[in-house]
A and B are shown apart, each in its own frame.
Chain A
Amino acid sequence: MSTLRRLWAIPTARFALVVLAGVAFLAVFGSALAPHDPLKQYTDRVLEGPSGDHLLGTDYLGRDVLSRLMAGTRLSVIGAAEAVVIGAVLGVPTGLASAWVGPRLEWLALRISDTLVILPFTVFAIAVAGTLGNGLQQAMFAIGVLISPIFFRVTRAVALGLRTQQYVEAAELMGASQWWTLRTHIWTKVLPNVAVTSAQAAGAALLVVASLSFLGLGVTPPAPTWGGMLASDLGYLTQQTWAPVFPGLLMMATVGSLNLLADAIRDATGAGTSARRRRRTPATSRKERSGAVVS
């Protein structure tokens, strides 16, 4: 609770939280509140500009852009959230464990994370769609798996740094069980870092989901998503150059807010500050590099 209050004290965090609350609201109630049916085609009003009837105009099939934006929020957000959850579930426990298991398993875990890092999102997602079938679940699985190394490395770096702290060593010497140490000393320090990473990864996942729907992977038309709307606007650029602006702005606001929130959590909780002090250790430099992927 005190963390939330500290977060609220930062102006950029307040802005980000308000924007994200708005997005969450749209995700829940967007399709119910949409002024038009997002799939209804007003065939006599194709590619119109904003008007009283259609506040943001219509797309190439005469569908209401505002309604599609509102209704599309849910699929876009759920997709990104699912990918982040999969990534965290795969990455955080393994990251914690890798600080404790023997050097051989640790080496192998690091190599697996290396391998996942080198696979490009889009190519991997295409391969998953081509082998396991094209759908939202498969696409999210693909993104989640490729996101997991970020969580793995962040968690591992923090856990490794904490293991050599004197109070953790003292606890272990006094006979605390590993599980107890993990829960009391490690987890509370790992959590803010996981939160920062989640916010960053959610922003990145949102962009990747959009990119995939642009490629025709994941959510299949006519279901509206931000990325899908951007993609379909592309074919009509000559007629309507401003069409990509609305979904683009919405996406920018969401991803930007997530990035701002990540920075604010870092400032409010001091996550990653201990790592910055010990810059020379390979684990932390790796962590910083993995952070660079997301940003």
Chain B
Amino acid sequence: MTAPATEPAPGVPVPGDGAVRADSRARRALPFLRSLASTALVTVTVLFLASVITFALGALSDSNPAAAALGETATQADIDRLNAEFGLDRPLVVQYFSWVGNALGGDLGRSWFTTIPVSDSIRQALPVDLSIAALALVLAILIGGGAGIGAALSNGGIFDRAVTLVCSLLGTLPPFVIGMALIVVFAVKLQALPAGGYVPITVDPLEWLRFAILPGLALSLDVAASIARQLRTSLVGSLRENYAVGAQMRGFGRSRVLFGHVLRNAAGPTLAVIGLAIPLIIGGAVMTEKLFGLPGIAQLALQSAEKGDVPVVLGTLLVTAVIVVAASLVINVLQKALDPLARQGSARRAAR
């Protein structure tokens, strides 16, 4: 909005204009600041609660470093000594705050077995998951978006019904079965792609894509189905709204109306679906890792869980929670950017 609501009436002295403008600017920025503050408060609370839940799991656990490392042969003296070494003899509140304090500084403690810093192990494994999850997200948006738009355009037609059917079928299968089907088709029958293994994206992006495309695809289909379903619903609804019908009557083509007018409005709910899908994608990445033998965070967590290596397990859970929260924040911002109602009074707008 280039023209401010408080357009100076003719005859109003010029010096007052600036003051009025600044005033209205402040008034417009206020709701934005308030929403920013509430978002920050929610985010911090959610992160705090996630850390409490994570820590509580560790506190409820009856495994201890001595039993984990020495097994049955651990004597009470060993247990006490190692507990003291890892700081487990302190009160829980002290333990919690030192754990969270260190975690804020990027230190998640050391593994009870190898004494390798947990953050180092996670830093090594995380790029695998993040790159695959990102690829899956892109694929999900492309596939789901395409299918949703196509279904909305052929509303009631064969393509629409096919998309609906495929989406409902995909929803009834565990994600790893989809991965298995992909392995059978592309790796076993066609021998076109490797069924497992991994090359880091930093080493060779093309090789990485060859190894990552199947896991990414397996991971994306589930989410693509929910994106397609939501996008189809909102598009069909929006295409019936007066502004879309009006644009069509003024002679704009169907696709022009869809891409130029309707898609932007329908994208909001779809973004919400994507936001909710992020935990699914990260959780699903765990599955695909196992399926395709990728050296990611899930293998780390699973192996540590088998051994009862609590610091590593807690570290992976906490890092995962932080990643999901960060991704949800991005989605939240995108939603606000798309929605003029939410954006009204935003600083960006007032500054223009």
CB distance from A19 to the nearest CB of B (A): 12
Contact with A along B307-320 (1 / 0, CB 8 A): 01110011011001
A178 to B44, CA, bound (A): 34
CB distance from B345 to the nearest CB of A (A): 18
Asked if B180 and A115 sit within 8 Å, CB to CB, the answer is no
Which residue of the partner chain A has the closest CB to B179? A234
Q: Which of the four size classes fits the interface of chain B?
A: 35 or more
Interface positions of A from 228 to 284, Cβ below 8 Å from B: 230-231, 233-234, 237-238, 241, 244, 248, 251-252, 255-256, 259
Asked if B168 and A292 sit within 8 Å, CB to CB, the answer is no
Asked if A215 and B302 sit within 8 Å, CB to CB, the answer is yes
* Cβ-based interface call for B61 (8 A): yes
A130 to B63, CA, bound (A): 9
Determine the chain B residues whose CB is within 8 A of the CB of A251 once the complex forms. Answer: 172-174, 177
* Cβ-based interface call for A211 (8 A): yes
Determine the chain A residues whose CB is within 8 A of the CB of B301 once the complex forms. Answer: 123, 126-127, 130
Asked if A120 and B283 sit within 8 Å, CB to CB, the answer is yes
* Cβ-based interface call for B3 (8 A): no
Which of B58, B168, B177 lies in contact with A256, CB distance below 8 A? B168
Asked if A123 and B176 sit within 8 Å, CB to CB, the answer is no
Which of A231, A234, A292 lies in contact with B226, CB distance below 8 A? A292
Which residue of the partner chain A has the closest CB to B302? A126
Determine the chain A residues whose CB is within 8 A of the CB of B172 once the complex forms. Answer: 203, 207, 251-252, 255-256, 259
Contact with B along A141-176 (1 / 0, CB 8 A): 000000000000000000000000000000000000
Asked if B173 and A207 sit within 8 Å, CB to CB, the answer is yes
Determine the chain B residues whose CB is within 8 A of the CB of A203 once the complex forms. Answer: 172
Contact with B along A12-24 (1 / 0, CB 8 A): 0000000000000
Q: Which of the four size classes fits the interface of chain A?
A: 35 or more
Determine the chain B residues whose CB is within 8 A of the CB of A244 once the complex forms. Answer: 177, 180-181
A230 to B291, CA, bound (A): 12
Determine the chain A residues whose CB is within 8 A of the CB of B132 once the complex forms. Answer: none
Q: List 30 A-B contacts (CB under 8 A).
A: A111-B46, A119-B50, A119-B53, A120-B280, A121-B283, A123-B316, A124-B317, A126-B313, A126-B316, A126-B317, A127-B54, A127-B305, A127-B317, A129-B305, A130-B308, A131-B61, A214-B174, A214-B290, A215-B287, A215-B290, A241-B189, A244-B177, A248-B173, A255-B171, A256-B168, A259-B168, A292-B230, A292-B276, A293-B276, A295-B226
Which residues of B approach A to under 8 Å, CB–CB? 42, 45-46, 49-50, 53-54, 57-58, 60-61, 63, 168-169, 171-177, 180-181, 183-184, 188-189, 226, 229-230, 272-273, 276, 279-280, 282-284, 286-287, 290-291, 298, 301-302, 304-306, 308-310, 313-314, 316-317, 320-321, 324-325, 328
Which residues of A approach B to under 8 Å, CB–CB? 111-112, 114-115, 117-124, 126-132, 134, 203, 207-208, 210-211, 214-216, 227, 230-231, 233-234, 237-238, 241, 244, 248, 251-252, 255-256, 259, 289, 292-293, 295
Counting from the closest, the 8 A-B pairs by CB-CB distance are A120-B283, A130-B305, A130-B313, A131-B61, A255-B172, A115-B49, A122-B286, A127-B317
